Structure 1
Amino acid sequence: MTLFRLDASIRTHDSASREIADIIEEEWLAARPGDTVASRHIGVETLPATAWAAAVTGGMTPEPDRTAEQREAVALAAALVDELIAADAVLFGVPLYNYGVSQHFKTYIDLVCADPRAAGERFLGGKPVVLATVRGGAYGPGTPREGWDHSTPYLRRIIADHWGADLTVVEREFTLVGVNPALDSFKDQAAQMQAGALESAHRAGRALGALPSPV
């Protein structure tokens, strides 16, 4: 079986979303040591910002008439969908940036949706997907930033409702505590949030590892 992992963090070290995703991957491999983990890191190896427009226009253009840019973009969109379809389970590591979806992951979503196989709804058909998402501040009920997380609800809508995945979300907040001195008074609360998120990551990884192998 294959786990497909995609990371959208712009950080290669000390990334909170990668910490969670690493645990999930480790649990998968502990349960399935002979299986495959395919990966893509769009936060570092970025997708071209202009590829979505080229994929959309290319999809509406007869193949012989496509420009080289359109052909490349259509092929890229197809490759991204191939990765999702070929995997038995999917792991996304996506941080909140500036109160919204990472631009890298938004480009990814747009390109996936440009492929005809993903144009309709629920093309993932109940495939297990874990979303590991982190937020630097706190956005829960009663906090000053309640309602400012414009990423997680959108990702739930796309991955679960539109793509049709069986989605599990592992979340961690206050990742900037210990980085931003203005948040030092929240150290105990942040530590509890981190511990809870890491335990949730272990549970999510074990659940993926327990998936039955296809007959």
Structure 2
Amino acid sequence: MDAVHQIDGRAYPLGLKNVDTDMIIAAEWLKTISRSGLGKGAFAALRKEPGNVFDDPTYAGSPIVIAGDNFGCGSSREHAAWALMDMGVKAVIAPSFSDIFSGNAFKNGILTVILPQEAVDRLMEVAKTDPIHIDLDTQTVTTAFQDRFQFEIDAFRKHCLTNGLDEIGLTIGESDKISAFEAVDAGRRPWLVPAAA
């Protein structure tokens, strides 16, 4: 997982409330266990509508989505986070998130930023013309117009994101402790130690 410190660029001004995981990636795309290729199916229902933000060349490749309340509600499908990642999205800003989606996003290196509705409304306006800057180290979202919004984030999640640590990385980081435990445990319960080949 890549470390996250700063995310800069245009943002998709989506703004919709209650965007569920089926809207992010529909069920017909769930037949894969691969994380790549899902961006093609992301927001497919919305992309059928003329003038949608996801097919507007102005926002092509934007690393940020600005959404309404309860983003990521619905099923627990991790494919929703994978689809966003495959589109190049590194952060979603919204007034609230589904807990399961927020957890899946975090585990896949996507920053979820919770801001008050007034801040989200302002960022929706800025996103139509200018880039947005997110700084995880200082926990701020800023614009070229001197807007500055502070956000909170769980300290453990911030540590993992800024150090690029997923669950495997966290486990590898504890390998010395794991080896020490296994050595002690082998002395206590030798019958569990595999026989040498």
TM-score (norm 2): 0.34
Give the helix-richer structure, 1 or 2: 1
Larger radius of gyration: 2
